[in-house]
Structures are given as structure tokens and as C-alpha cells.
Structure 1
Amino acid sequence: MDSDDELEELRRKKLEEMQGNLSSQRSREEEVRAQQEAERARKQQILRQILAPDARERLANVRLVRPDLAENVENQLVSLAGMGRINRLLTDKDIRDILGKFQENKRETKIERRSK
């Protein structure tokens, strides 16, 4: 019976170790999630400071259609604001101009059909 007790003790220790690893992994994931949420909140706060309501609405609409484009524009605006390069409230027209510049960089593929 002594070996059974030892085996049971080893199983119990291994189970506790696995549970400890799992809880530490969960706490790390929660920490990362909290950091990401704090970063999103900071970004939204900066955007509220530099964008007029109509400009925020424009970006929200773009986000519905092209989330990647909206994310790029927002990141660029936050970066510029952080460097102090935005010194006024941006309007809807400003956002349209910025979106247009982002679209200019995109290549357009045309396919022509030629008849023989």
C-alpha cells in the first residue's frame, strides 16, 4: 500500500502544478487583455480630442466597411497627435482628404478583354 500512497501523492502534486500553471497563464492573458483595453481607451481619448463629431462618425462608418483602413488612419492620427503635429480639431472634410490619400497609395488592377 505504501507505493499506492506515493503514487497518489505524485498525482496530487502533478495536478496542483498543472492547476498552478493554468492559473498563471490565465492571469497573464487577463493582464494582456487589460493592457490592450487600456491602450484602446487611450487611443479613443486622443481621437475624441482631435476629431470633430462628424469626423469621428466618418471614421466609424469607414470602420464598418474597411476596418483595416480605419485602423491605419486612426493609428496615424494618434501618432501625429503624439508628436504635436495636429494643432486643431479635424473635421469631416479633413478625414475625407486623409482617406483619399490612403486610397491613392492602393494599386488598382484593371483587366482588359481583347477580342481576336
Structure 2
Amino acid sequence: VTVRVSDDPHYSREGNNLVLRAPVTLEEAVNGGVLEVPVPGGKTVKLRLTPGSVGRKLRAKGRGFTTKSGTGDLLVIPEVHLPQNLSDEAKEAFEKFIALAPQENPREDLLKKVR
């Protein structure tokens, strides 16, 4: 007997772990907050996002696949959802923010390591 499981548009699998990429607002990415994310079966789980930790996996223990070898976890990867259609006033405020808090190149270490 061959069993095939079709891909899910929201979840992927890493061993017994279930992986979910969850959109977060720019405010949540900067300030942190509590993320409420869905788990299969219609329930939700709340995870704490610490300030500046976007891209790091958050773990909901025991919310993955259950097999003979154990139960996996739900791994949530926060991804920043940037606002679209900013007003002129919001664009101006953002430019002021950039002037007050210049951004370093986040790929600088990557560029050094790959060369």
C-alpha cells in the first residue's frame, strides 16, 4: 500500500515537526508581541515574539506529528509583512525614521563569508 499526502498551502514538514510561516506586522517585528497561529484541527496556539527576532523559529512543543518514535513540534517562522499603499504622510514619516535610525547592511556578514 502506498500512501501519498498532498502538500498543504500553509504547513510543511521537517521530520515529525510541522513548519508554518506566519506573517507579522512591522510593529510586531520591531516591538515583539504575542502571535496567535493556527494548528491543524481548527485550534490556535499563542507564541511570544521577542523584539527583533523575525526569521528565528518559534516552537510550540508537542503540536507536530505523532508517530511511534515521538511527537514533533510546531515550528513557526515569523516573516515581516510590509505595509502596502502608504500615504504620503506615512512615507514622509518613514523617511524621517530612516534619517534618525540609519540601517546597516544586513547582508554584510553574508557577503564576507561567501567570498
Give the TM-score taking structure 2 as reference length: 0.20
- Structure number with bigger Rg: 1
Give 1 or 2: higher strand fraction: 2
Give 1 or 2: higher helix fraction: 1
